Structure 1
Amino acid sequence: MTVIADITVPADAFPLGRVLEDLPAVEIELERIVPLREAIIPLFWISGADPAVIETTLRDHAETESVEQLTAAEDRTLFEVRWGPDINGVIQALIDTRAKILEATGTADTWDFRLRFSSHEDLSAFNMALTESDVPVTLRHIYNPTLPDEGDALSPRQRDALLTAYRQGYFEVPRRTTLTELADTVEVSDSALSQRLRRATNALVEDTMLTDEEPRS
């Protein structure tokens, strides 16, 4: 049965945390991690520092093979980074257990992940892999989500974020509130709320608008 886990790991247990440890004001929002042949490529949004400084810091690190700035939105920049094939720890455990990253944000101190596993066995394997790699992990919350054909396609936090945004006029033209004001209301960072709203919208489109024949993300 599918299981979702909220975990926290130290920043230095994750490549971006190790690379950017000298930039304490940085906040990172992971978009996705995909294996491509022998390379591991994360896409991530970053705020809190000059994008040029971030790019230089990434390029100069031994674990990095290539870096590219893809786009910018408001005060955030989307980067694509190709890590070397020797990256292990959290990333390798994610790949080996086929975990799907639902949400991920990081700072100079910690990384918070919301992960979906196909089974409790995969979650246990993930935890064991981190233990064997000497990566301390804090399990904040674990639960079994409702399957789409049995109920809501949204997680409780996604539903709350969407409803709060709707009730406060975030989707109106012109908007009656800002992302920062919404983030203060639900007590998360701007980038975490932005990701939650995008994930929720994506889930609603998949659940209500796609046919069985159409591909899903």
Structure 2
Amino acid sequence: MRYLQLQIRFPPEERHPMHQFLTEQDSIQRVYLRHWNFSNPEYVATLLHIVGNIESEREEYLAALEATESIQEFDVTLIDDRSFYVYVRESAQGFAGRLRGLLTDTELLIVPPVEYGTESEMLFEIAGEQDALKSLVANLSDHLSVSVNRLGEYDAFREPHVTALTDRQEEVLETARKLGYYEIPRRTSVREIADELNCSKSTAANHLRKAESRLVALYEERSRLSYQSEDS
């Protein structure tokens, strides 16, 4: 069985309001769609896992949920100071309907979680026959920005897909490494990294922070999996 990891970027007019909210703030770093139920034709039910420095943004996130017209109800479960769960029931119209089509109108298997990032990207893995995988990619809408990050034989014990950085994050991180940003003592600054990349200091700092956050998330995920393995 083959699998591929897809990264899709939606143009602003195609984004869900909550994904747009994610691109406009700095404290929440990732949102994971952990589980979903599309059995009711009138609505979709989803379980979201929100991760980041959420203390300053949680109330704003919940207010944005409340203001989204398609969301019928939601319920919050706090986990710790870095994450919380949200159960959402949303009308099957609009974006939720397109998500239903993407995740259900196929014989391929979607491997949870589906991951939403702060640069308008949606990242997820699909497993199945190679011809069906190729057909799925070929039939995605032309106005979406689509890239295949990984392709290979499916292995449930490989590194989780949280390892994937966006192309820009990889570029900024690699530039920082080459210039000595991570050496002790540091041999460069964020300003010099920004100058090398021809972008503003705040943009370079933002990309660095998000890339580092994803690598920390990978460490936490590996630690969790290692603990579960030892416990079993």
TM-score (norm 2): 0.58
Residue in 1 that maps onto 2:72: 65
Contact between 2:47 and 2:85, CA under 8 Å: does it hold in 1? Answer: no
1:137 aligns with 2:163: no
Tell me the CA shift for residue 51 of structure 1.
1.3
Within-5 A mapping of 1:97-108: 97=106, 98-108=108-118
Distance 2:74 2:85 in 1: 11
User: Which structure's CA Rg is the greater one?
Assistant: 2
Residue in 1 that maps onto 2:5: 5
Residue in 2 that maps onto 1:93: 102
Residue in 2 that maps onto 1:22: 24
SS at match of 1:127: helix
SS at match of 1:154: coil
Tell me the CA shift for residue 192 of structure 1.
4.6
Code of the aligned partner of 1:100: I
What are the superposed Cα offsets for residues 25-73 of structure 1, whole Å, 9 maximum, x if unpaired?
4212314231242332132223244212111101101232222111222
What are the superposed Cα offsets for residues 125-157 of structure 1, whole Å, 9 maximum, x if unpaired?
43245326x3221112211124xxxxxx511x2
SS at match of 1:131: coil
Distance 1:22 1:129 in 2: 30
Distance 2:136 2:227 in 1: 28
Contact between 1:25 and 1:108, CA under 8 Å: does it hold in 2? Answer: no
Residue in 2 that maps onto 1:42: 47
Code of the aligned partner of 2:7: I
1:117 aligns with 2:124: no
Distance 1:116 1:92 in 2: 14
Code of the aligned partner of 1:117: A
Structure 2 unaligned residues grouped into runs of 5+: 164-209
Distance 1:55 1:3 in 2: 35
Cα gap change, 1:119/1:113 in structure 2, threshold over 3 Å: closer, same or farther? same
SS at match of 1:80: strand
Contact between 2:30 and 2:118, CA under 8 Å: does it hold in 1? Answer: no
Distance 2:6 2:220 in 1: 18
More helix by share: 2
Contact between 1:14 and 1:90, CA under 8 Å: does it hold in 2? Answer: no
- Quote the RMSD (CA, aligned, Å): 3.7
Residue in 1 that maps onto 2:216: 190
SS at match of 1:141: strand
Distance 1:200 1:135 in 2: 37
SS at match of 1:123: helix
Code of the aligned partner of 1:18: Q
TM-score (norm 1): 0.62
Tell me the CA shift for residue 90 of structure 1.
4.5
SS at match of 1:23: coil
Count of matched residue pairs: 175
Distance 1:72 1:61 in 2: 24
Give percent identity, aligned residues only.
9
Structure 1 unaligned residues grouped into runs of 5+: 147-152, 162-183, 210-217
Contact between 2:28 and 2:57, CA under 8 Å: does it hold in 1? Answer: no
